[in-house]
Copies of this chain bind each other. A is one copy, B any other.
Amino acid sequence: MLSPHYASCIQACSACAIACETCAAACLAEPDLQMMRACIQLDRDCADMCRLAEALMLRNSPLAEEFCRLCAKACQACAEECAKHAHDHCQQCAQACQRCAGECLAMAA
């Protein structure tokens, strides 16, 4: 059902939004909460960006490509922060963000 041009980027955004929501909720329950402030903040922004990127691509919005270029920055920032933390949810989120950043850049190229 998905446009072939966008399909892999849409899937990456969907997976990244799920990973970021999961990571934010898990961070909020960690004992070392003080260290997770930046992670929670970046997770939230990245989840929201990925959800809107996904919607704009599904709508064939004229803004989709430029939006994905900005979404890649949100993913990259979140990947860098998550990679610093050993928690499984952070490591998995870092991977989803890294992959999504790559898909968004390729899509916007």
Contact (Cβ within 8 A) B18 A41: no
How many copies the complex holds: the figure is 4
Given contacts A29-B37, A37-B29, contact A63 B45 (CB under 8 A): yes
Q: Mark A37-74, 1 if CB is under 8 A from B, else 0.
A: 10011001101110110111011111100110010011
Partner of A63 from B19, B49, B62 at Cβ < 8 Å: B49
Say whether A106 faces chain B, with CB atoms less than 8 Å apart: no
Identify which of B10, B62, B77 contacts A18 (C-beta below 8 A).
B10
- By a CB distance below 8 angstroms, the chain B residues around A92 are 1
Q: Chain A interface (Cβ within 8 Å of chain B)?
A: 1-2, 10, 14, 18-19, 21-22, 24-25, 28-29, 33-34, 37, 40-41, 44-45, 47-49, 51-52, 54-56, 58-63, 66-67, 70, 73-74, 77, 89, 92
| Subset of 15 A-B contacts with CB under 8 Å | A1-B19, A2-B22, A10-B18, A14-B14, A14-B18, A18-B58, A21-B54, A22-B58, A40-B40, A41-B59, A44-B44, A45-B63, A47-B55, A48-B56, A51-B51
